[in-house]
A = this chain, B = another copy of it.
Amino acid sequence: MLIPEPVQSLIDAFSRLPGVGPKTASRLTFYLLRGDETLSVELANALAGLKENTGYCQQCWNITTADRTLCEICSHPQRDPAQICVVEEPLDVLALERTGGFQGHYHVLHGALSPIEGVGPEDLKIAELVARLKVGAVKEIIIATNPSMEGDATAMYLQQQLANRGVRVTRLARGLPVGGDLEYADQNTLLRALAGRQEMDQE
């Protein structure tokens, strides 16, 4: 073995991360080898504590610290429990929170329906979402799944599951991205933008 085993095993572990190939894994490993020990130790500790110290909010299934039953958003007195925004992943909550445009609660599905990858409704937090309708005074469900094949399929399925329950079901608008260029928009985006055109005085 030309590469010492402790070095090779870190290269192998890094290589299993998404978007990290063997070359990048080597570079990261040798960077850590060359640098002082603090960064390796901090990374190791953060990794060891990651699963141990985190858990899921028992209402919206977003990630929270292990000592909490409800996350900060669900337990915040100023957030409106009548609106629930449904997203695929915890990172989507962060993206929406950064906009500052939503003051309701969330629901994290932890994925999207995908027959090809064998992800069915029972693999997602869909039953948990339906159960929330029975408890609280929910007025609106905003579906914010990704604008992809899987996200669309998930939105359609949710729409069926949530129909006739006395709750308004909406979905994030589709159209041209702000700051984008019309000539670079793909056909589907343009078609959606045309179909979903709005009266200008309504904006």
Contacts and interface: CB of A to CB of B under 8 A. Distances in A.
A54 B24 contact: no
Contacts of A44: 43-45, 47-48
Contacts of A48: 40-41, 44
A72 to B, nearest CB: 7
A11 B12 CA distance: 20
A117 interface: no
A9 B53 CA distance: 11
Contacts of A50: 6-7, 10, 29, 32-33, 40
A9 B64 contact: no
A91 interface: yes
Contacts of A173: none
A167 to B, nearest CB: 26
Interface stretch (A14-22, A78-86, A122-130, A134-142): A14-22
A48 B37 CA distance: 9
Contacts of A63: 4, 7, 33
Copies of this chain, how many?
Answer: 2
B94 A6 contact: no
A53 B2 contact: no
Interface in A41-60: 41-54
Contacts of A19: 24, 27
Given A48-B44, A50-B6, A30 B65 contact: no
B40 A51 contact: yes
B24 A42 contact: no
| Nearest 5 A/B pairs, CB to CB | A6-B53, A44-B47, A10-B46, A13-B43, A44-B48
